[in-house]
Amino acid sequence: MAFILTLTLALLATEAGAQTFYESNPTYQDSVNDDATWVFHSPAQEGLAAARLELAAGELGKLPYTFSLLVVRHDALVFERYFHGSGKHASNNVHSASKSILSAAIGIAMSKGLLKGPDQFLGDLLPGAPHHLQLRHLLTMTAGIEWTEDETENDIEKKRNWVDAILRLPFHGNPGEKYHYSTGLTHLLSAALSHAADLSTAEFTQRNLFNPLGIKPQHWGARSPGHQLRGL
């Protein structure tokens, strides 16, 4: 029941075009049997209808990118199904679920005083950031920066400094006015966290979120290995 975390980290490319914005999606295999760490109950033991869970699993299995369904109730695993050749030892890419993980890490950094709060200006952390951008605009994806998902990344990955390239993108509106999905904003958040904590996003999140929860990601996706930003 391991997984691959593919969070975009704050990195510099070693040379223009040397790295792609996203990694490929290999499936890793976790050889550790962690059954002993789980409590297993039947759905009926936890007041759940097994037939309805099977029905839900059948519908999810029709989706091409669904790999697993696990239902946990009262700290017990009550239902477990895998799809499309996956299994409990397959560690699959969680893609943009990592955005929620990053948001949790940002919240932890705020609680520790490393970040002042959602109203902190991005310019406090990333030199060159537009003066009116706040962390809340990145967290809520309302920054107003022009971005076309799965297209803009192709241009950004050709730049030497991805953070700077994203900050130089034009605005299509004022921050806070309109939601617009952007993985570029996730990249800026990661850079801001790395700067504030003087740690990579991976290191900070592992220490402060995953370790307390007993989670060990099978793989952290990162670009330009060896050139991770610990502050700009």
59, burial (CB in 10 Å: exposed 0-12, middle 13-18, buried 19+):
exposed
Q: Which residue, among 177, 201, 202, has the nearest Cα to 189 in the 3D structure?
A: 201
Q: Each residue of 89-125: pLDDT tens digit?
A: 888 888 888 899 999 999 999 999 999 999 999 999 9
Helices (H) and strands (E) in the chain, counts: 8, 6
Tokens standing for residue 21: 């914005």
Q: Using the predicted structure, report yes or no on whether residue 228 has a pLDDT greater than 90.
A: no
- Element housing 77 (H / E): strand 76-82
- State the chain's maximal CA–CA distance in angstroms: 57
pTM over 0.85: no
- Element housing 138 (H / E): helix 135-139
CA 180 to chain centre: 17
Residue type, position 103, single letter? S
Give the pLDDT of residue 161. 87
| CATH 3.40.710.10 location in the chain | 3-26+93-220
Count other C-beta atoms under 10 Å from residue 65's C-beta.
Answer: 10
| CATH classification number, 3-26+93-220, choose in 3.40.710.10, 3.30.160.20, 3.30.1490.190, 3.40.50.300 | 3.40.710.10
Q: Using the predicted structure, report yes or no on whether residue 3 has a pLDDT greater than 70.
A: no
Give the pLDDT of residue 132. 93
Q: Each residue of 126-177: pLDDT tens digit?
A: 988 998 999 999 999 999 999 999 999 999 988 888 899 999 999 999 999 9
Expressed in percent and rounded to 5, the helix, strand and coil fractions of the chain are: 35, 15, 55
Who has greater pLDDT, 39 or 30?
39
Q: How confident is the model at residue 229 (pLDDT cuts 50, 70, 90)?
A: very low
Q: Each residue of 34-79: pLDDT tens digit?
A: 888 899 999 999 999 999 999 999 999 999 989 999 999 999 999 9
Cβ proximity of 137 and 45 under 8 Å: no
Q: How confident is the model at residue 222 (pLDDT cuts 50, 70, 90)?
A: low
Residues 6+ apart with CB under 8 A from 111: none
* Rounded average pLDDT over 198-227: 79
Sign, CA torsion 180/161/205/67: positive
Tokens standing for residue 51: 């037939």
* Rounded average pLDDT over 21-38: 82
Residue bearing tokens 């005083």: 113
Give the pLDDT of residue 223. 58
